[in-house]
Copies of this chain bind each other. A is one copy, B any other.
């Protein structure tokens, strides 16, 4: 296999025709193969280091009825952060890229925004200035670009964008830049009766559009930052839901635990994350009785993906910050830190990503 981070190794025609034959992002959301039993050894893309051993041992400990750590199937809940844990989050969260790219269309509808910040900066196309936008400015952009339309319109627009948008480094659809080792963990957990949930700071509606296809995770198992909706009737008398610029759930930090309580109603047995935004979710999981498994993905592989921290002296990052304090808390509590560089044999799926295996 050619190195995946070499764009020249990807046959664009094969990718595009695959996409045309099996549209990743149109309904139905779900492919039967996504939940199929895995043949052979589990976790083949993991090196035989501590994290792989911990995952395999945890699954044995919770599914073997003769062991005191046995967990009944209906209580097997596993939660996964998305950005940086299941797929690439650098150099910018996919949803933020989408929101920024929607600004011109929104300003065409609402010309009064043209000279108002932060929209003015986005329209300028000045990438350096855009990179300096604060979190509250980005939130303003997200609110204006991703609400005020019906849920159906939102879904159709976002699907269309995801079909054509490409990651700047690999020039591949964002939906293909998922971590092969994590797809194997999702599969192994489900093969052993765990319900797999995404618990993401990203927009719940946005992630639901692709989560079934690329992870085998149905919409009701995606917990994310959620805006309110409003029920109304169209001119034809048919009801529809409008996305409102009203934050219902900020699914970051402690909000992840609150979101888990709201949407799942029980404490998970497994939690995977990669940043300070996942800290409380891992603490909450860890505080349960019996066997619990907590892991954090450390991005220390600049060659195959990215390296950022600032844990362990890695470069600081505005996206998916993994601080030294989080690293220390992990070590102190016995949470596994996964080194992408040393613990993952492969980072991405083979070139024919998406066919058959998900």
Contact = CB atoms under 8 A, between A and B. Distances in A.
Interface string A282-299: 011001000000000000
A165 interface: no
Given A30-B74, A222-B265, A265-B220, A258 B287 contact: no
Interface in A216-274: 218-220, 222, 226, 228-231, 238-239, 241, 248-249, 254, 257-258, 261-266
Interface string A102-123: 0000000000000000000000
B261 A241 contact: yes
Given A208-B265, A231-B257, A264-B220, A238 B287 contact: yes
A239 B230 CA distance: 34
A261 B265 CA distance: 17
A350 to B, nearest CB: 26
Nearest to A75: B28
Contact of A239 (B29, B74, B228, B287): B287
A231 B258 contact: yes
Interface band, chain A: 35 or more
B228 A28 contact: no
A334 interface: no
A226 B287 contact: no
A284 B230 CA distance: 12
Contacts of A204: 262, 265
A151 interface: yes
Given A220-B263, A238-B287, A239-B287, A72 B258 contact: no
Interface pairs A-B: 5 shortest CB-CB: A219-B265, A231-B254, A30-B74, A220-B264, A231-B257
Interface of A: 28-30, 72, 74-75, 151, 195, 204-205, 208, 212, 218-220, 222, 226, 228-231, 238-239, 241, 248-249, 254, 257-258, 261-266, 280, 283-284, 287
